[in-house]
Every structure is written in C-alpha cells, then in structure tokens.
Amino acid sequence: MDFKWTEEQELIRKNMREFALKYVEPVAAEIDENERHPAEVFQKLAEGGWMGIPIPQQYGGAGSDFLTHIIAVEELCRVCASTGLTMSFQCGILGMLIKDFGTEEQKKKYVTPLARGRFLGSFCLTEPGAGTDMMAAATTAVRDGDHYVINGTKTFISNGPFADMYLVFCWTDRAAGRKGMSALIVPKGTPGLRPGVPFRKTGLRSSQTSEVFFRDCPVPRENLLGDEGRGIPMAMIGLDHARVGAAAVSVGILQAALDESIRYSKERVQFGNPISRQQAVAWMIADMATDLTAARFLTYHAAWLKDQKRPFTTESAIAKLFGSEKAMYHTTRAVQIHGGYGYIKGAKVERLMRDAKVTEIFDGTSEAQRMVISFNTLR
C-alpha cells in the first residue's frame, strides 16, 4: 500500500476543508440545535460535485475512487458529522449499490440524480424487531401481476422524512430463508408509502431519522434491484461500505476533538501557565493523537482494499469498531479538558461527544462488529 496521497486526494482534502469552513461551520451549531436538515448546504455540495465522488462520470459522478470519497467525508465530519454522514451514504452506499447491481435504466434513473445531488435517498433495512438480526425482518413484498406489493415498517432510517427514493429490503419468499429477501427501489410519492415524523435524537441531530411505513405499497417489477432473492448479499455489501463511511465519520469527529483540545489547552491559563503544559492534559492530547492516527489508517486501509477489489468485510468492521469507540472515549476527554465550559450547550466539544455516541450504534453496534471480526478471524 502506498501511503502517499495522490494530487487529486490532496486537492480534495484541501477543497473540502475550505468548503466546510465557508458553508457548513457557520450553520453547524444552529442546525444541530434546531434539528434542521440544511438543504442549502446540500445544494452547495451538489453544485460543487461533492455528492458523487466515487460514481463514474457517465452516471453524473466524479469518477474517483472510494478512498477519495472517504477522505472528503472525514474532512466534512471534522466540521459537521450530521452533514458528512448524509453525504457518505448518498453515493457511498446507495449510489454504489444501484451502480453495481442495477439495470442500465435504473442507473440512469437513480444513480445519476443521486450523484448530482438532485435526489437524496434512504437505505431501508432496519425494522422495529430486526436490527442486528436481519433474518427477523417482517416486511414483505408479494408479487401481484407486474408489481410487488410491500407491507411493513422500517425504523431508524436516515433521510426517512424527506428522501426522494427508498431502497427497501423485504421478503419476497420467506420460506427460502437467506435466499428469500430482495431489494426494491421505491420512489417518493408511491401510494402506500408514508414517512414517519423525525426522531428526537441525542446527537447527529440535523441528520433526520424516522420510521417509514409501507401499507399495500405497489412497486413495478422493474424496480427490483438485481435478482430476486439477492437482498441479503446486497445488504451485507452495503453495510461493508457503510461501516467504512461510519469509520470516516468517527475519524472526522476525533480530529475535531483534537483540534478543539489543542486550541483550548493553549489558551486556558491556570497557575500561571497554559494547561497544555500540565502533564495530565498533555498526555490526554498525546493519547488522542495516537488513537486518531491509528483510526485513520484503519479506515483508509479498508477503503483501499475496496478500491483494489479485495475483500474488506473484516477490515471495515475493525475500522468502524476502533474508530467509533475511540471517538466516544476521546470526545469525553475533550470535554474534560474544557472543564465546565465543555459541558455547556453550544460548546463544540459537547456536540462532538453527543455525535460520537451513535457511531457505536448505527450500521451495526460495536458488539455486532465484534461478532463479524471474531467470526471471520476464528473460522
């Protein structure tokens, strides 16, 4: 593996940093406080071509690789994790799944608007009774002539309240077990599709999340993604991508925690000296920098493996597990460094701590990552 970034990757990082400071930093606290989806920011992301970095140019993307996309996600999350998360799964999961498994018509109809930021999509897998245990899902899609009729409820769906299209995983043949789940593309406005109200979350508050209800929802057969019965393998591939994205979110949060801790520790004076000169604080920052470096390399390695068309399931789980747990640990250390000021609503480190917690939960909990890692290591 070459540890030197390409000129394109260096430029992407620099330009995303400038973009995030100019357009996202000024609204980051407000959209968190008001739980507001920043449509104006995503319009700017679309105009700048940021939404489709890993998508081929023929489908409206930049034609770059997955690692370059991950670098951009990390840099955006350094300023606002909610915004970076949405960009991450827009084409890092949805766009790439439809690109890899869709028909040419589906690619033109859905991948292109996703890559150009005209659409925002949702990945509808989790259900009230089926989180880690995908086989416990209850949503069904029954064939009726040239349509499938979907019934069921999905939950914890990012972009659920306002998505333009939903990729829905549901049973088309429950008796077939793991070969009985399929994936269907459901456009916004389809009869029987009803998004729920946004959940009031602790963190990532401007990334709106809700239930999505399907009641006798008819979907044309041509909206089947890939072959019938291939839903579980597609979902697992999607989760591999998602976990690298989640790791990048964690790295961005951790970098921001380090930035804020360095800045404050140099400004805050106690006993006649900046607190950065106190060993207790300096060593917290040293540990933060060490774990940040490790988390970043684990994340980039997983993304690099994907670009090399090599298996990366275990590596994506390792990167997600390590990055999320270190982000949670070190954001609490960042609050500790700030003292009482870090625990006040509106302090950036307070938001970072709230955002970090859910990285240990979404796209598979830390316990689920340990299941994946141990299974693949011990077999």
Every domain of the chain and the residues it spans: 7-120, 122-230, 232-378
Residue 53's nearest CA partner among 17, 106, 89 is 89
Segment 222-274, tens digit of pLDDT: 999 999 999 999 999 999 999 999 999 999 999 999 999 999 999 999 999 99
Neighbours of 189 (CB within 10 A): 7
Structure tokens that stand for 67 in this block: 């690692």
Q: How far is CA 33 from CA 36, 98, 162, 198, in A?
A: 8, 34, 19, 14
pLDDT, position 131: 87
Residue 326's nearest CA partner among 303, 346, 301, 297 is 297
Share of the chain above pLDDT 70, in %: 99
Instruction: Tell me the mean pLDDT in the region 113-135.
Output: 93
pLDDT, position 1: 60
Residue 327's nearest CA partner among 362, 301, 276 is 362
| Global pTM value | 0.95
pLDDT, position 376: 95
Contact 264, 338 (CB under 8 A): yes
Instruction: Tell me the mean pLDDT in the region 347-353.
Output: 97
pLDDT, position 89: 84
Average pLDDT of the chain is 95
Answer yes or no: is pLDDT of 2 > 90. no
Helix (H, G, I), strand (E, B) or coil at 26: helix
Answer yes or no: is pLDDT of 169 > 80. yes
CATH of 122-230, one of 1.10.287.3510, 2.40.110.10, 2.60.130.10, 3.40.50.10490: 2.40.110.10
CATH of domain 232-378: 1.20.140.10
CATH superfamily of 7-120: Acyl-CoA dehydrogenase/oxidase, N-terminal domain (1.10.540.10)
Half-sphere exposure (CA, 13 Å, Cβ side) for 214? Answer: 31
Instruction: Tell me the mean pLDDT in the region 34-52.
Output: 95
Please determine whether the domains at 7-120 and 122-230 fall in the same fold group of CATH: no
Contact 114, 90 (CB under 8 A): yes
Segment 269-326, tens digit of pLDDT: 999 999 999 999 999 999 999 999 999 999 999 999 999 999 999 999 999 999 999 9
Segment 85-122, tens digit of pLDDT: 999 988 888 999 999 999 999 999 999 999 999 999 99
Say which amino acid occupies 246: A
What residues have CB less than 8 Å from 69, skipping those under 6 apart?
Answer: 53, 54, 88, 91, 92, 303
